[in-house]
Amino acid sequence: MIAADDAVSDRAPRPAAEAPRRVVATAPGKVNLALAVGAPEPDGYHPLATVFLALDLVEEVEATASDALRLAFDPASPIEVAGLACDDSNLAIRAARALAEHAGIAPRASLRITKRVPIAGGMGGGSADAAATLLACDALWGLGTPREELHAIARALGADVPFALEGGAALGTGRGDLLEPVPARGPLHLVLVLDGEGMSTPATYRELDRLRDAGELPQPGPAEVPAALLAALAAGDAEALGAHLANDLEAPAIRLRPRLAATLAAGRALGAAGALVSGSGPTVALLAASDAAAAEIAASLAAEGRSVLRASGPAGASAAPDDALPAAAPHPTASPDSTEEPR
């Protein structure tokens, strides 16, 4: 979700007295409705053609003025946050440092993240933390960094970070970081089936290469997404979209985590319009034909003892979460705030 919008770009850093003391920004988790993976480049990265859909499952980053860079996770987060790294290995910390370095300032902020996107689940939660941190710190530090510069910083942090800055629905090429918005009619209703144990993205890509090298999967052609999928997305036709969902990382994810096959089958048996492994896994995304169908599928899976979340998309491309802050907060959002005179 874009909390700091283009209206604040191209500004010089604000004098300290004008800078907000506290900013909240959000960025969405995602599913890849299509993910076509080419052969690895010499640097190990794979060329992709992917269709991202941002979900109304958002990560929230609160940035508060501080004398140093600190990170904590909100223990009341819907997702279990115990044991998550808060040091320099955390992508949010790296995002704050990268933005400060770009601006030539010291990275001084206290960050607090409320996690709603499953961890290591193939839904871009860590990327969303990084994107929301860029937006929050940009506003906290009064930088007004132009959008294309924020994108360049995002791209260097990870292939999924640029999409988390934008939200909505987009075709991603390159490493998935070159984005072109695509029309999407929503809401599309999803049921996300969590696996309980995260998976490593590099490991899933490596397994794909291994299966292709061993001839167990076909050799990759040029990475392309089906035109029929884009048409179904534009029309908001869940049944047609469900029929065209495709993910080259699904087979390697299932090989590494065989029980995912049963999860997909359970979703299909309950009448989901489509089912696929999300990104590099292990979360399984089920597309439902309606809100009521999603509620039924989610209830049936929960009754089987599975851990499920409901989400819809496209989301995340607008509106700051003003209601997430107490009304008394002086500079409450990363959007141009009402307490500040335009300059």
Q: Which residues are catalytic?
A: 30, 160
Among 90, 178, 99, CA closest to 134: 99
151 binds ligand C5P (CB under 6 A): no
Which residues make Cβ contacts (< 8 Å) with residue 131, sequence separation at least 6? 27, 95, 154, 161, 162, 164, 165
Q: Which stretch binds ligand C5P (CB under 6 A): 154-162, 243-251, 260-268, 335-343?
A: 154-162
Among 128, 112, 99, CA closest to 31: 128
What is the Cα 321 distance to its own chain's centre? 17
**Cα(111)–Cα(103) distance, integer angstroms:** 18
Minimal distance in Å, beta carbon 181 to ligand C5P?
19
CB nearer ligand C5P, residue 133 or residue 201: 201
| Binding residue for ligand C5P, selected from 53, 159, 164, 309, defined by CB under 6 A | 159
Q: Which stretch binds ligand C5P (CB under 6 A): 44-52, 56-64, 69-77, 257-265?
A: 44-52
Classify residue 49 as exposed, middle or buried by CB count within 10 Å of its CB (0-12, 13-18, 19+).
buried
**Cα(298)–Cα(286) distance, integer angstroms:** 9
| Binding residue for ligand C5P, selected from 28, 162, 176, 281, defined by CB under 6 A | 176
Restricting to residues 212-231, name those near ligand C5P by CB under 6 A. none
309 binds ligand C5P (CB under 6 A): no
211 binds ligand C5P (CB under 6 A): no
Which is it for the CA torsion 100, 84, 198, 203, positive or negative? positive
**Cα(278)–Cα(124) distance, integer angstroms:** 10
| Binding residue for ligand C5P, selected from 24, 48, 113, 193, defined by CB under 6 A | 48
Number of residues that bind ligand C5P (CB under 6 A): 12
Q: Which stretch binds ligand C5P (CB under 6 A): 39-47, 184-192, 233-241, 300-308?
A: 39-47
| Binding residue for ligand C5P, selected from 90, 114, 201, 335, defined by CB under 6 A | 201
CB nearer ligand C5P, residue 30 or residue 46: 46
Tell me the residue type at 338.
Answer: S
Residues interacting with ligand C5P, by CB under 6 A?
A: 44-46, 48, 158-160, 175-176, 201-202, 205
